[in-house]
Amino acid sequence: MAFFEVLVQYFPSFCVALWATVKLTAVSLICATVLGVIFGLFKVSGIKPLKLIANIYIDIIRGTPLMVQVMIVFYGLSQVLRPYGFAWGNIGGNFTAGAVTLSLNAGAYMAEIIRGGIEAVDKGQMEAARSLGLPYGKAMSKVILPQAFRTMLPSIINQFIISMKDTSLISIIGIRELTQNGKIIAANSASRVMAIWLVVAAFYLVVCTLLSKLALLVERRLSYGK
């Protein structure tokens, strides 16, 4: 079968590409989580300028396609910042540009998820924590966020899976991840194009499945006495 022929023949290159996809996903998701927490907290802070900043960020990201975002970050920024000595090549090249874009993109969606999770926690929880003398930050980190995290988890996992698949769009700036690898192989072996793309799809499917399984495990670990 052509599928297995392709899989075996190009296995090493797919493994390298898979590693690029996984790395891009992992780095972006970590950064996106940090961004999401920061901007999610901005949104619930009740401080107008912070809310405004968060809203502008989220609206811009949600209102534009990821592929355009990566073009702006990779080509646009390097053009504008070149006079100041900036070049993506100096800081990890297109991989860094891709990771930055994906982080910013997923970060905006994460911010909305985290805002929703925090707002879903009963108001009395914050009041009880504050009434004990805990400052806002401690009440948030010790009482609100741990509870919010539990309700947010399914949405966070969902976003992780979406972002994992979005790495395929980042191939447009030439990172040799799974999709780009597929394109290159298909260009040299046009007769097996169906098999090649099925192999690419299979790799994504495996990573997604593993991610979901991992999520389930975390979810179970987090459940406490009801």
Partner 1 sequence: MENKKISVLNLKKNFGRLEVLKSISIDVKEGEVVCLIGPSGSGKSTFLRCLNRLEKITAGEVIVDGHPISDANTNINKVRENIGMVFQHFNLFPHLTVRENITLAPVELKKMDKDSASRRALELLERVGLADKADVYPGQLSGGQKQRVAIARALAMNPDIMLFDEPTSALDPEMVGEVLEVMKQLASEGMTMVVVTHEMGFAREVADRVIFMDEGYIVEEGTPEEIFGNPKEERTINFLNKVL
Residues at the contact surface with partner 1, assessed by CB under 8 A: 122, 124-125, 127-135, 138, 142-143, 146-147, 150, 224-226
Nearest distance, CB of residue 125 and partner 1, angstroms: 6
Cβ proximity to partner 1: between 147 and 189 the closer is: 147
33-38: long-range contacts at Cβ-Cβ below 8 A with a sequence spacing of 24 or more? 33/107, 33/110, 33/156, 34/107, 35/103, 35/104, 35/106, 35/107, 35/108, 35/110, 35/111, 36/106, 36/107, 36/108, 36/109, 36/110, 36/111, 36/113, 36/114, 37/110, 37/114, 38/111
| Angle subtended at Cα 198 by Cα 193 and Cα 203, rounded to the nearest 5 degrees | 130
Tokens of 126: 């914050």
Nearest distance, CB of residue 73 and partner 1, angstroms: 38
Neighbours of 98 (CB within 10 A): 28
Residue 122 φ/ψ region, left for φ over 0, alpha for ψ in the -120 to 50 degree band, beta for the rest = beta
Cβ proximity to partner 1: between 65 and 154 the closer is: 154
Cβ proximity to partner 1: between 122 and 219 the closer is: 122
Neighbours of 211 (CB within 10 A): 16
Nearest distance, CB of residue 151 and partner 1, angstroms: 11
The C-alpha atoms of residue 107 and residue 33 are separated, in whole angstroms, by 6
Nearest distance, CB of residue 52 and partner 1, angstroms: 23
- Is the distance from CB of 189 to CB of 7 less than 8 angstroms? no
Nearest distance, CB of residue 224 and partner 1, angstroms: 5
Cβ proximity to partner 1: between 162 and 222 the closer is: 222
Nearest distance, CB of residue 136 and partner 1, angstroms: 9
Nearest residue to 74 (alpha-carbon basis) of 203, 169, 10, 204: 169
Cβ proximity to partner 1: between 82 and 138 the closer is: 138
Cβ proximity to partner 1: between 108 and 143 the closer is: 143
Cβ proximity to partner 1: between 150 and 183 the closer is: 150
Nearest distance, CB of residue 157 and partner 1, angstroms: 19
